[in-house]
Amino acid sequence: MTSIQRMKELTARLKEAAKAYYQEDREIMSNREYDALYDELQALEEETGTVLADSPTINVGYEAVDELPKEAHESPMLSLDKTKDREVLREFVGDHKTVLSWKLDGLTIVLTYEGGELIKAVTRGNGVVGEVITNNARVFRNIPLKIPYKGRLVLRGEAIITYSDFQQINASIEDVEARYKNPRNLCSGSVRQLNNEITAKRNVRFYAFGLVSAQDVDFSNSREYQFEWLKSQGFDVVEYKVVTAATLDEAMDYFSSAVASNDFPSDGLVALYDDIAYGESLGSTAKFPRNSFAFKWADEVRETHLLEIEWSPSRTGLINPVAIFEPVELEGTTVSRASVHNISILKDLELGIGDTIKVYKANMIIPQIAENLTRSGNLTIPDACPVCGEEARIRKENEVESLYCINPDCVAKKIKAFTLFTSRDAMNIDGLSEATLEKFIAKGFIHDFGDIFEIGKYRDELVTMEGFGEKSFENLMESLEKARDTTLPKVIYSLGIANIGLANAKVICRHFDNDIDKIRSADEDEVSAIDGIGPVIARNLVEYFSKEINNERLDHLLKHLRVEKEERSGEQKFAGMNFVITGSVERFANRAEMKEFVESLGGKVTGSVTGKTNYLINNDTASNSSKNKKAKELGIPILSEEDFLKLAQE
């Protein structure tokens, strides 16, 4: 394989991993593996003098999703060059006064203030174009909505969720599989919500790390002065220390000892020259500014021995391999197990019982296998489910192999499926813990979801069950009666169809006018064409309803429910019309409320301006945003809220 071929291979793998991580909030390779492949690609580019057009070394970040308005940044946001070697960092600092601060692991946000008020918040996006999340930023825990300074201020910072809040939020999610893997994923999803009520409940915090511009303010040519000035305006600023090469060690020792006890996620440090003019005079490379440098913590790696692979089934039938190894101390805690994620990773590592492996904690949180030193590959992948004993089969999707139990009646699937069904966001049935459900299944009381609402016929047996007396029975009956009144999106979500969460269920139900028969008979093309619903979700939905047994079970469930249908009342004057909403809104609580209003009049709201768009709604009708430009190119009218409301009243 030539160097160029290897570069193409590395580019494809890194782009796939970045898309999974940034756009889909999932991981297909460890941070350590990503960094190693990235470094290899960078070395090959230096060796060959060639940089491919789609190389991740020049294309940074993730692409903004269509559900939120997009906007170009006033100045591109570049990534930082990085090292894990303290001496390399010392060489960068040299004799320059340098601001050394935490590199927070969340989502970068750009805030704009005018007249002392927050007028705009935009995510980093791909560094050139981000997503407008102003309404969400307004409900961050610590962002000042008004500041003393009345000029135009643009600053950058990191939105994060603390470890303690992360643990509390995860603990409230009853479906274990629906829990978030780390604070960054939770923060990313929280910041980019369409409904800022959800954001408000997530305790998102913002820490400023850079001032872009402030009209008519003399900062004495000092980044440190900028930090202190931002504090005076009410902003929480990332903790920092001012260093030179001579004083670097003391500061580094402080940060390295503090990171273990911090309540916030951090994956390293950032060094920024204090001298603003000097730093800006250095310019930048195609990807990196020359006035700043990132230091990433060297992972604490321990050597141990693999004892066994535990195979853990889930409600979708996926059987996850979990490595069990001799306990080791990592980042201050004892660790003895780590998820291997899927069969592809297990094969790549050539794992075998007794192998000598190296383990670490990704971002000092999640145990991972770094490498396998002996690579015996002596593992036998089971061909039977560890719970039900029926056939287990390897499936390959998107070049990733995973093991699945194919028995639809697997007890493990049932327990997990019933746990989701009764959870708060689904049918919200109190009094049915996973342990209780397990007992009901074992006794043959429930076989499908509808059976739960018929559990009362086993009253005599239930009240004599250990830990489940007369009072528990009465409470359960009361909870079941309340649960009968529900909505179709909750019903669809409660079925446990792969990749369909409550938000997706709402979008699907709204598209099909809350008609379950239309949803059951829809084909993949129609479902995947719904704004925000992709081909994977479409395939899963259609496959689910293609099975007669699933339809029979749903019919049984629906007999016990009173499903409230979201009726559209009044004249459908926007029927057949497509709208795009962008920017901040004033007459509505948020864009989601405006979207509901459009839909109540028969219209459809999409995420991007196309030839099918009838109107673009933007209070800043004269702005030079990408959506406004596109609308003008296509001759599509741009309406302010006032214009839109007049149109609705005509």
Give the pLDDT band (50/70/90) at residue 545.
Answer: very high
> What confidence score (pLDDT) does residue 62 get?
39
Each residue's pLDDT tens digit, 201-220: 888 999 999 999 998 999 99
Question: Which three-class secondary structure state does DSSP give residue 99?
Answer: strand
pLDDT in tens, 238-279: 999 999 999 999 999 999 888 877 888 888 899 999 999 999
> How many CA atoms are closer than 13 Å to the CA of 493, on its beta-carbon side?
23
What values do phi and psi take at 7, rounded to 5? -60, -40
Half-sphere exposure of residue 154: CA atoms within 13 angstroms, side-chain side:
9
| CA angle 495–499–504, rounded 5-degree value | 80
- CA nearest 296: which of 256, 329, 251? 256
Place of tokens 């709208």: 579
Q: Are 191 and 107 in contact (CB under 8 A)?
A: yes
Beta carbons within 8 Å of 41's beta carbon, 6+ residues apart: 7, 10, 11, 14, 55, 56, 57
Closest-CA residue to 68 (of 11, 113, 124): 124
- Give the helix ranges, DSSP H, for 453-558: 459-462, 470-483, 488-494, 502-511, 516-521, 524-528, 535-545, 548-558
CB atoms within 10 A of CB 287: 18
Determine whether 465 is exposed, middle or buried from the number of CB atoms within 10 Å of its CB (0-12, 13-18, 19+).
middle
Q: How far is CA 231 from the centre of its chain?
A: 30
Burial class (CB in 10 A: 0-12, 13-18, 19+), 532: middle
Q: What is the Cα–Cα distance from 616 to 638, expressed in whole angstroms?
A: 5
Going by pLDDT thresholds of 50, 70 and 90, the confidence category of residue 14 is confident
CB 616, CB 609: distance < 8 Å: yes
pLDDT (tens digit per residue) in 471-495: 889 999 999 999 999 999 999 999 9
Q: How much is the pLDDT for 60?
A: 46
At 643 the pLDDT is 84
**pLDDT over 90, % of the chain:** 36
Strands (E), 15-106: 70-72, 82-83, 98-104
Q: What is the predicted pLDDT for the residue at 64?
A: 40
pLDDT in tens, 70-103: 888 777 778 888 888 899 999 999 999 999 999 9
CA distance 151 to 172: 43
Q: How confident is the model at residue 63 (pLDDT cuts 50, 70, 90)?
A: very low
Structure confidence at residue 31 (pLDDT) = 72
The continuous run of DSSP H or E covering 208 comes out as strand 205-214
Confidence at 537, pLDDT banded by 50, 70, 90:
confident
Average pLDDT, the chain: 85
Q: Facing residues of 445 across strands? A: none
In angstroms, rounded to a whole number, what is the distance separating the alpha carbons of residues 539 and 416? 22
Q: What is the pLDDT of residue 205?
A: 93
pLDDT top residue among 308 and 71: 308
**Cβ-contact 370, 358 below 8 angstroms:** yes
> Which of 70, 103, 287, 506 is flagged as catalytic?
103
Nearest-angstrom CA–CA distance, 57 and 60: 7
Higher-pLDDT residue of 54 and 120 is 120
Q: In sequence order, what are the residues at sequence separation of 6 or more whose Cβ sits closer than 8 angstroms to the Cβ of residue 9?
A: 1
Per DSSP, 544 falls in state H
- pLDDT per position as a tens digit, 418-472: 888 998 878 989 888 877 887 888 777 888 899 999 999 999 888 888 778 888 8
Read off the tokens for 158: 């990191």
The verdict on whether 181 is a catalytic residue reads: no
Euclidean distance between CA atoms 538 and 446, whole angstroms: 29
333 C-beta neighbours (distance < 10 Å), count = 11
For residues 57 and 82, give the distance between their C-alpha atoms in angstroms, rounded to a whole number: 12
Place of tokens 């359960």: 476
What are phi and psi for residue 13, nearest 5 degrees?
Answer: -65, -40
Question: What is the structure's pLDDT at 238?
Answer: 95
CA distance 28 to 17: 6
In contact, 489 and 466? CB cutoff 8 Å: no
Each residue of 91-100: b (16+ CB within 10 Å) or e?
ebbeebbbbb
The rounded Cα 590 to chain-centroid distance in angstroms is: 21
Strand runs labelled E in 179-265: 205-214, 240-243
Taking the mean position of all CA atoms in its chain, how far away is CA 360? 23
Query: Where are any strands of DSSP class E within 234-386?
Result: 240-243, 266-273, 292-296, 302-313, 318-330, 333-339, 356-362, 366-372
Q: How far is CA 428 from CA 70, 175, 365, in A?
A: 36, 12, 31
pLDDT in tens, 130-159: 889 988 898 898 888 888 899 999 999 999
Q: What is the dihedral of CA 39, 41, 42, 45, to 10 degrees?
A: 160
Q: Taking Cα atoms as reference points, which of 649, 633, 533 lies closest to residue 587? A: 649
CB atoms within 10 A of CB 219: 15
The secondary structure of residue 409, as a DSSP letter, is T
C-alpha pair distances (Å), 237 with each of 112, 143, 225: 16, 11, 12
User: Cβ(238)–Cβ(228) under 8 Å?
Assistant: no
**Which range scores top for mean pLDDT: 60-74, 101-115, 160-174, 321-335?**
101-115
Cα separation of 286 and 496, whole Å?
45
Residue 167 has pLDDT above 70, yes or no: yes
> Residue 228: in which H helix or E strand, if any?
helix 223-232
Give the span between the Cα atoms of 51 and 181, in whole angstroms.
34
Give the count of beta carbons closer than 10 Å to the beta carbon of residue 294.
18
CA neighbours closer than 13 Å in the CB half-sphere of residue 594: 26
What whole-number distance in Å separates Cα of residue 158 and Cα of residue 353? 42
d(CA 345, CA 338): 12
